[in-house]
Structure 1
Amino acid sequence: MIAYNSKSLDNRDIQEQAEDARERAFITPEELEAVRTAYPVDLYTPNPYMRIGIFILTTIIMQFSFGLFCLIMVSAMSEKAFSVLCFFFGAGSYAIAEFMVKDKKHYKSGADAALIWIAGGFILGGVILAANAEGNPWGYCLVTLILSTLFVLRFADVGMSIVAHLSLLALLFSILESLGTSGKIVVPFTVMLVSLGVYLASLKLSKVHTYRHYKSCLLVLQGVSLLTLYMGGNYFVVRELSIEMFNLDLQEGQDIAGGWIFWILTIVLPLLYICLGIRRKDRILIGVGLLLIAAMVYTIRFYHSVAPLEVAMTIGGLLMIGVAYGLMRYLKVPRNGFTADSANERNMMEAVQIESLIIAQTMSHTPSPQPDQYNYGGGTGGGGGASGEY
């Protein structure tokens, strides 16, 4: 389903591992060149600076083209015609993106990313204009979810995977809000359950070989879903959003219903992330858990001013440093194959894989046997089943 050539993507991953192994002196330049020759890549992927430039240039070209069409049709332009024009440019941008990928072999060049974001923006804008901006919010969330999911499946765009997850939560939020008080009560728990489901699904899919080309998207989804899971149970987020969006009337110092549940989640979840991360050798869990310790400290400080803000921030920073230092000391000695120096462990595994590829490539070109240097003639000896001729 992905638009890029699957074999070229596999070869690209092999070349990247070989280049990394060469930088760390695991293989020689000759072996690196042998890998490149054996696994060619025909994809166009410029350096990061060129990608940014191509992204900006593509965006400017498409926006100027859209503006030119608007100027040409300004006399007969109505809201309906404007929405049709948005649909036309959205479909055209998507078609150009498919062309750039299929025929021009662009892969993360900046042009393909710009075109799919422009296509999504134009199509969504056309939907909003066609509905006269009076449609239900859940309808716009549904369109965004469909478009972003399509772009993730076709182009494995990391940014679109984040949009897809957030639009899914926004869709559920809009539906539950329209159900009245009962729906509003279950919003935090729904967000947490859906985020947990997305995390478990992305964790499982990232281990399936079939979805290897979506690995970056799945890893980002794991981190984002862990964040939204915590936000769904964070006391500060639940309380303040209830006041702003649900018009909950609370006096100063008054607690929300079931507030103790959210206080427990606010404090326990970051620590649970870190513990599970260590146990499962998951760097994403550890990183998100350390990040959320700061959110936990901020939430406690916001409602319980036990110290000035500067002191609280200093304590929070020291706490994060202490946790990180403790983890480094704890993992200084390898424990069940998990160490603080996980990068070297990963590179060693990649080096073994690259070495296997080089050996396989070398053995596949076995030299042909040389003619016998000594020509003794064609006689044979007797015994052991021989013919007995000399």
Structure 2
Amino acid sequence: MKAYNESWVNNRAANAKIKAWELEGVLKESEIEPLEDQFYSPNVYVWMGLFFFTSIAISFCSGLFLSLIGFSENSSVLGVVLVIFAGGLLFVLETFIRNKKLYWSGIDNAMLYCILGFLIAAFYVFTSSFSPPFYVFSIVYFIFSLPFIYRYAEPFIAANTAISLFIFVSLILFEFSIFKPLLPFVLIVISGGLFLFLQRTEATLYYKKAVLFTSVVSASVACLASNFYVVKESNEALLKTDFVGVSSVGFWVLSFTVPLAFLFFGLKKKDRVSFLVGLVGLEASVVAVRIYFDFFPTEWALIIIGLLLGVFAVFFLKFLQKTKCGITSATSRKEGLQNIEGIVFSQAFHANDGSNSIEFGGGDFGGGGASGDV
């Protein structure tokens, strides 16, 4: 069961699209009435303030209570108190969402992070006498966060959950010396598999940002795990080994192959996330080449690369003014006009229960309907 009103989430996305159409001149102002959305969701500056002060308030109240009672760090009673804190804060969070109509307002985000923090701290207290390895905490965080992702779809929690999975896999492999050299390949396979799974998942608007953040994390891990500089320096620091011969050539190939795969996948599927991550990964690979092979002085290298990037940018902006293979640099309004009909129909028949929600995306890569939009 979802914590937030899903029909309002869909309506908020529709209202944002309607506003964009009004600014672009596709619609006249107030031609379509805004759909129902009673959420309280402030701008980014108010969000930061509410998040900061809520976190301070929770920390102050819980710390003051614990200091007055005076529990020791390893006391099992402390673990029970932390669980009670988490339960009480969860009750307050649910009450605020229901009565104050919060939706990622900073207050509910801070409460969610604190609830997870209390639960992890309670687990640490309960298991402190056993001194479990760190990978146990990473998998416990992964398990604890899954119900929160399902109910609240909080994007940062979703991203951290993916990171905890990668940490767990890395630490498990490091427990066995024979598997340590395989770590980059395992991370590439898991992160790439997770990315493809998320791309094939038909996520609703309610989970769209959570899927987006997790996709960015998984694609970034794949690019990092294949980057020659990251792998070489990590091996020297952790395994005290260096790359020579075939292994060196193999990772140079991977360093460019994986980002290029994301780059072409993004072009083919018109997906901004994979395209931009692949572009950044490819840039990181070029930087790695620069670090290990000093062809030009730094000043000349920066000038040449800057000129080449400028020429390529101008060329492709002009070249893609007309659609080439479904890709364009111009804003696409075709998708917008198609969705206007759906919004008018939904508004006329009051179909705002979430079952007939309007799905945005699927337009040209350079237009407003690209699947990477949030």
Query: Normalising by structure 2, what TM-score?
Result: 0.84
Q: Give the equivalent residue in structure 1 for 2:372.
A: none
The partner residue of 1:100 within 96, 100, 116 is 96
The partner residue of 2:205 within 198, 212, 217 is 212
The partner residue of 1:234 within 227, 235, 239 is 227
SS at match of 2:158: helix
Q: Give the equivalent residue in structure 1 for 2:295.
A: 306
Q: Give the equivalent residue in structure 2 for 1:131.
A: 127
Q: Give the equivalent residue in structure 1 for 2:218.
A: 225
Return the offset for 1:202: 0.9
Larger mean Cα displacement after TM superposition, 260-269 or 55-64: 260-269
The answer on whether the counterparts of 2:191 and 2:219 sit within 8 Å (CA) in structure 1 is yes
Q: Give the equivalent residue in structure 2 for 1:168.
A: 165
The change in CA–CA distance for 1:7 and 1:279 in structure 2 (over 3 A counts) is closer
The partner residue of 1:262 within 251, 261, 266 is 251
The change in CA–CA distance for 1:287 and 1:94 in structure 2 (over 3 A counts) is same
Q: Give the equivalent residue in structure 2 for 1:77.
A: 72
SS at match of 1:107: coil
1:336 aligns with 2:325: yes
Alignment of 1:342-353 (within 5 A): 344-345=331-332, 347-353=333-339
1:52 aligns with 2:48: yes
SS at match of 2:327: coil
1:145 aligns with 2:142: yes
- Paired with 1:319 and 1:140, the residues of 2 have a C-alpha distance of 47
Return the offset for 1:363: 8.3
Deviations 1:333-375 (A, max 9, x none): 202332012xx21x542343124422664589xxxxxxxxxxx
Q: Give the equivalent residue in structure 2 for 1:290.
A: 279
Between structure 1 and structure 2, the one with the greater Rg is: 1
Q: Give the equivalent residue in structure 2 for 1:3.
A: 3
What amino acid does structure 1 have at the position aligned with 2:133? N
Larger mean Cα displacement after TM superposition, 310-319 or 84-93: 310-319
Runs of 4+ in 1 over 6 A off after TM superposition: none
What amino acid does structure 2 have at the position aligned with 1:113? N
Structure with higher RCO (Cα < 8 A, 6+ apart): 2
What amino acid does structure 1 have at the position aligned with 2:25? A
Return the offset for 1:64: 0.8
What amino acid does structure 2 have at the position aligned with 1:135? P
The change in CA–CA distance for 1:249 and 1:199 in structure 2 (over 3 A counts) is closer
- Paired with 1:194 and 1:140, the residues of 2 have a C-alpha distance of 20
Q: Give % identity.
A: 25
The change in CA–CA distance for 1:300 and 1:18 in structure 2 (over 3 A counts) is same
Larger mean Cα displacement after TM superposition, 130-139 or 196-205: 130-139
Q: How many residues align?
A: 348
- Paired with 1:256 and 1:65, the residues of 2 have a C-alpha distance of 59
SS at match of 1:30: coil
Deviations 1:215-234 (A, max 9, x none): 12212222222211111111
Deviations 1:285-335 (A, max 9, x none): 321222123211221122222233444444444454454444334422202
Q: Give the equivalent residue in structure 2 for 1:62.
A: 58
Q: Give the equivalent residue in structure 1 for 2:117.
A: 121
The change in CA–CA distance for 1:201 and 1:321 in structure 2 (over 3 A counts) is farther
The change in CA–CA distance for 1:30 and 1:230 in structure 2 (over 3 A counts) is closer
The answer on whether the counterparts of 2:228 and 2:285 sit within 8 Å (CA) in structure 1 is no
Q: Any gaps of 5 or more consecutive residues in structure 2?
A: 351-374
Q: Give the equivalent residue in structure 2 for 1:13.
A: 13
Q: Any gaps of 5 or more consecutive residues in structure 1?
A: 365-390
1:179 aligns with 2:176: yes
Return the offset for 1:189: 0.9
Deviations 1:44-72 (A, max 9, x none): 22222222221112111101101211221
Deviations 1:92-144 (A, max 9, x none): 33332222223332111111111111111222222223333831122011012
1:201 aligns with 2:215: no
Deviations 1:216-253 (A, max 9, x none): 2212222222211111111111121122223x244xxx
The change in CA–CA distance for 1:148 and 1:302 in structure 2 (over 3 A counts) is farther
- Paired with 2:175 and 2:132, the residues of 1 have a C-alpha distance of 13
Alpha-carbon RMSD: 2.5
The answer on whether the counterparts of 2:187 and 2:221 sit within 8 Å (CA) in structure 1 is yes
